[in-house]
Amino acid sequence: MKKRFFLLLILFCGTRAILAAETLENGVADPASYLGAIKQDLKIQWPKNKTANLVFHGHSVPAGYFKTPEVRSFQAYPALVHQAVKDVYPFAVLNAINTSIGGEQSESGAARFQRDVLTHRPDVIFIDYALNDRGIGLERAKKAWETMIETALAQNIKVILLTPTPDWSADILDDKTPLAQHARQIRELAAKYRVGLADSYAAFKERVQNGENIRDYLSQINHPNEKGHRVVTELIMRYFK
């Protein structure tokens, strides 16, 4: 009995140590270790290498809309991440699959999650819906995000959540705006589920605090230009370097 107790204690402490190594103090997955196994696979050379699938799920921003109705897929962060990851892992067979739809919010994204996202057998899923979720509110958005996160984690798929890119009609320095509240909720979800976080909202806020003009990063009121998409790309790439 005593031997069994100590064995359980060792297993428990070992699990706690692994979780501590994989998460930051705020509970969010540590970029250095969260995709550790995937990064090791990306290093494998032919003929033992295997395909990795990155799926980007969200609204018009990851879909590549710049000044509506113009879509610049290859200047949007899903394509930029694809290229950047390939630069780091030249032997990898890598697919960047975009399931985003312009104008969609997270409830609709959750409704088609099984059909449109999981069917691609993703290794990593990126979720980006906050700009449009202002239309459905925090409670409904939280339920939809949790549905997608829990569904993915149940299949051992890595998840990285994205806080919103800016909207120049909302003061990014005001922490009480609906957009700021959605950003806060996404951070809380990342901590709750110990998944990845690309905090776009905080990154753009920091730039404004440093005296930059948010419009320099936008092609229209709520769509980033290539410079804005590169900010998001840099945040995501923290998980792959």
Q: Which are the contacts of 130, defined by CB distance < 8 A and separation ≥ 6? A: 141, 162, 163, 164, 179, 182, 183, 186, 201
Q: Where are the domains of the chain?
A: 27-237
State how far the Cα of 10 lies from the Cα of 15, in Å rounded to an integer: 9
Q: Per-residue pLDDT tens for 190-202? A: 999 999 999 999 9
- Which CATH number is correct for 27-237, 1.10.10.10, 3.40.50.2300, 3.40.30.10, 3.40.50.1110? 3.40.50.1110
Q: Per-residue pLDDT tens for 2-58? A: 444 333 333 344 444 444 447 777 899 999 999 999 999 999 999 999 899 999 999
- Tokens 């892992």, residue located: 89
Contact indicator for 161, 109 with CB cutoff of 8 Å: no
Q: Which are the contacts of 45, defined by CB distance < 8 A and separation ≥ 6? A: 91
Instruction: Determine what percent of the chain is predicted with pLDDT higher than 90.
Output: 89
CA 109 to chain centre: 14
Number of C-beta neighbours around residue 184 at 10 A? 14
Contact indicator for 117, 57 with CB cutoff of 8 Å: yes
Number of C-beta neighbours around residue 78 at 10 A? 28
